[in-house]
Homo-oligomer: A and B are copies of this chain.
Amino acid sequence: MSQRDIGYHRPMARWQPDARGRLEAAAFELFRERGFEQTTVADIAAHAGLDKRTFYRLFGDKREALFSGSERVEEALVKVVAETDAAPFEAVIAAFRQMAVDIFADRRELVRMRHSIIESSPELQERELRKTGALLAAVSAALRAKGLDETTATLATESGGTVFRVAYARWVAPDGDASLADLIDEVATELRAITSAPGRR
């Protein structure tokens, strides 16, 4: 890491480039080393060669430094949902599946590290929940934009989210080795079975 050189004869710009990226990296590193609560915003800023105040200009709060990829994920999900013409639940599953392939598949170790950081802090778990909720709201809006009523859109979206969360939990588990996309398919099938008909015990 580091080695964020600019070039050779640049007469030394007033500031190093990519303040935001440096802060994200510093936060990730420190959260892993000392834990979220043991890391102060001043620590993160100093580690990135910046001031505490600059951190707060780029991130709403201390937790946000860990949740930067979410816009990309949201765009990917919404795009698939908007373009596919499958039934609502299937559309959402397809979106998560595609997103898993395009964004998650190659980053398993990174995702695992991030997951273990979040797992260790209730505050971060809360933020993750909120981010996920916002993501699902965007997906649901994309479904409604296709003419679905709100209840249908919400139920399809939330069910898809449930499938994803369960599949994701298995994927990041230390011993799992199946691909996330395959896990999503498996879990979707299981969910269909469970909610299908009021069968007997």
Contact = CB atoms under 8 A, between A and B. Distances in A.
A3 interface: no
Contacts of A98: none
Given A126-B126, A129-B133, A130-B125, A155 B201 contact: no
A191 B155 CA distance: 6
- Copies of this chain present in the complex amount to 2
Nearest to A63: B126
Contacts of A89: 194-195
A122 B126 CA distance: 11
A38 interface: no
A192 B187 CA distance: 16
Given A166-B155, A191-B155, A198 B87 contact: yes
Interface string A141-163: 00000000001101110110011
Interface string A65-97: 000000000000000000001111110000000
Nearest to A146: B201
Do most interface residues of chain A lie in helix, strand or loop, or is the interface mixed? helix
A162 B190 CA distance: 16
A196 interface: yes
A129 to B, nearest CB: 4
Given A130-B125, A158-B162, A194-B156, A199 B87 contact: yes
A112 interface: no
A133 B169 CA distance: 15
Given A126-B126, A151-B187, A155-B166, 4 more contacts: A88-B194, A125-B130, A155-B194, A159-B195
21 contacts: A86-B198, A87-B199, A89-B195, A90-B198, A122-B130, A125-B133, A151-B187, A152-B194, A155-B166, A155-B187, A155-B191, A155-B194, A156-B194, A158-B165, A158-B166, A159-B159, A159-B191, A159-B194, A162-B162, A192-B196, A192-B197
